[in-house]
């Protein structure tokens, strides 16, 4: 299943025409927001990366994925607002990151076991409704989103978030 299919379903449920590219782009952004919410609050995405440090700094912009927090570094370090201070040389960093869909034609199978298509749909609908000022609808969709995630967790089908 592709993200485009879920965006089509969300558009249909919200009454958004298929030709409304602006609102479909907002739904795409909502999908990434839901995915980052799941990754940062429920099921962390862990990435490992090596750096050749020459100036004693690893800038957050040097990470291949959007950086959330450090899980492990091979040497002592100090954390600053836009970089990590470490010793010079080869440094391995294990960190929590935010996964994302690259484009609407991305497959959601890479997140199978992490978030179901139904949970992603309801999460997107909740975010879109909140953005649009539809508080009651946002709450309704948020409740359904949470129930889908809870069901996955209870059945033991939830897996670690892929990097």
- Condensed to tens digits (0 to 9), the pLDDT of residues 72-102 reads 998 899 999 899 999 999 999 998 887 777 7
Residue 113 has pLDDT above 90, yes or no: no
Q: Are residues 33 and 113 in the same domain?
A: yes
Tell me how far apart the terminal alpha carbons of the chain are, to the nearest angstrom.
19
User: Do residue 129 and residue 93 come from a single domain?
Assistant: no
Q: What residues have CB less than 8 Å from 102, skipping those under 6 apart?
A: none
What is the domain extent for residue 86?
45-98
Residue 81 lies in a domain: yes
DSSP output for 23-53:
HHHHHHHHHHHHHHHHHHHTS-EEEEEEEEE
Instruction: Clarify whether residues 73 and 110 are in a common domain.
Output: no
Confidence of residue 8 (pLDDT cuts 50, 70, 90): very high
124 within domain boundaries = yes
One domain for residues 64 and 29: no
Task: Calculate mean pLDDT across residues 32-57.
Answer: 84
In a domain, 161, yes or no: no
Residue appearing with tokens 């996964």: 99
Q: Which two tokens stand for residue 32?
A: 């990434």
- Structural domain total, the chain: 2
Q: What proportion of the chain, given as a percentage, has pLDDT over 90?
A: 48
Q: Is residue 126 part of a domain?
A: yes
Q: Can you give the length of the chain in residues?
A: 163
Examine residue 163 and state whether it is found in any structural domain, yes or no.
no
Best CA proximity match to 14, nearest among 162, 134, 159: 134
Q: Can you tell me the distance from the alpha carbon of 65 to that of 147, in angstroms, rounded to the nearest whole number? A: 29
Same domain, 51 and 93: yes
In the numeric block, the tokens 């249909």 are attached to 12
Q: How confident is the model at residue 160 (pLDDT cuts 50, 70, 90)?
A: low
């Amino acid at each position: 299943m592709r993200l485009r299919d879920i965006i089509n379903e969300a558009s249909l449920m919200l009454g958004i025409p298929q030709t409304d590219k602006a609102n479909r782009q907002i739904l795409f952004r909502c999908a990434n927001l839901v995915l980052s919410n799941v990754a940062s609050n429920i099921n962390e995405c862990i990435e490992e990366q090596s750096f050749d440090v020459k100036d004693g700094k690893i800038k957050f912009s040097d990470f291949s994925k959007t950086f959330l927090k450090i899980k492990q570094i091979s040497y002592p370090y100090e954390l600053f607002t836009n970089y990590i201070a470490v010793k010079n040389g080869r440094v391995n960093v294990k960190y929590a990151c935010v996964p994302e869909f690259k484009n609407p034609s991305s497959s959601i199978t890479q997140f199978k076991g992490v978030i179901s298509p139904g949970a992603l749909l309801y999460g997107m609908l909740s975010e879109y409704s909140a953005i649009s000022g539809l508080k009651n609808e946002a709450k309704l969709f948020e409740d359904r989103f949470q129930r889908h995630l809870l069901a996955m967790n209870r059945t033991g089908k939830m897996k670690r978030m892929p990097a």
